[in-house]
């Protein structure tokens, strides 16, 4: 029988485009996706870090380091921090991806996965490598990279990343991130998983994705006690999610 993952099995990185083009709904829904990412992996006890970039990688400090423990207020602090820097500057995606891969290689895990959330092609590259060369380096280091293209008419992600998800409807970003986590952690599509997984962790992930979509990010995050009280409520799981290519 297969088992649900432990915090030793997986390492995740979320890399967020915070450049000038990520204004308005793109930035808002990227932040909602970030919130879903944090709450899901924290709930499952899976270690992760969060990296933002615009003209350069925002690494002094990172939004979240591997091994850092999260409280409800720390999550709120991260959301506020990303909100403040969102939608400024150019797009140094190659630098950010290279940095994310280098950081991930230091981690030990059965699977090491980087999710690259962006709305377009980079226009700054100080890595001295092309994106294709950096992705090859990731493959050679057994690091999986998934590109997530935000918004319609974004062909760059599809052309560049071997594994990618296009999100033409910007409001679906949290749900698409939920789908990536489900498929990568369970190793199969959510709707096809064996019954013995029960209706627990990933049912709740879907509920979190739905509630995150509607959440007003201007207000504070709920306390940890409030979040526990909400676990049995929320929308039903969403069907017919697109698979990762």
pLDDT tens-digit series, residues 176-212:
999 999 888 877 444 444 333 344 556 666 666 666 5
Average pLDDT value over all residues in the chain: 81
pLDDT number for residue 233: 39
Q: Which pLDDT value is given to residue 166?
A: 94
Is 80 exceeded by the pLDDT of residue 38?
yes
Note the pLDDT of residue 9: 84
* pLDDT for the residue 16: 98
Name the more confident of 217 and 195. Answer: 217
pLDDT at 220: 37
Residue 70 has pLDDT above 70, yes or no: yes
pLDDT the model gives residue 30 = 96
Reply yes or no on whether the pLDDT at 2 is more than 70: no
How many residues in the chain? 245
Q: Tell me the percentage of the chain whose pLDDT exceeds 70.
A: 73
Mean pLDDT confidence for 78-83: 96
Reported pTM: 0.81
pLDDT the model gives residue 208: 62
């Amino acid at each position: 029988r297969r088992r649900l993952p432990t915090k030793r099995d997986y390492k995740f990185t979320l890399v967020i485009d915070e450049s000038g083009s990520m204004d308005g709904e793109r930035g808002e829904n990227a932040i909602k996706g970030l919130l879903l990412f944090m709450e899901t992996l924290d709930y499952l006890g899976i270690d992760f870090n969060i990296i933002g970039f615009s003209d350069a990688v925002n690494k002094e400090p990172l939004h979240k380091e591997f091994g850092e423990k999260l409280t409800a207020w720390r999550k709120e602090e991260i959301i506020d921090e990303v909100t403040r820097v969102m939608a400024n500057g150019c797009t140094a995606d190659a630098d950010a991806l290279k940095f994310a891969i280098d950081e991930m290689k230091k981690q030990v895990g059965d699977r090491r996965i980087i999710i690259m959330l962006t709305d377009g092609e980079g226009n700054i590259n100080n890595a001295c490598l092309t994106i294709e060369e950096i992705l090859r380096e990731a493959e050679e280091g057994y690091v999986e990279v998934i590109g997530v293209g935000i918004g319609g008419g974004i062909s760059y992600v599809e052309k560049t990343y071997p594994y990618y998800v296009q999100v033409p409807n910007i409001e679906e970003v949290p749900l698409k991130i939920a789908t990536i986590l489900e498929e990568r952690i369970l190793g199969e599509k959510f709707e096809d998983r064996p019954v013995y997984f029960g209706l627990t962790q990933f049912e709740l992930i879907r509920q979190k994705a739905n509630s995150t979509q509607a959440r007003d990010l201007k207000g504070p995050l709920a306390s940890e006690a409030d979040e526990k009280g909400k676990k049995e409520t929320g929308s039903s799981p969403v069907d017919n999610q697109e698979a990762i290519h």
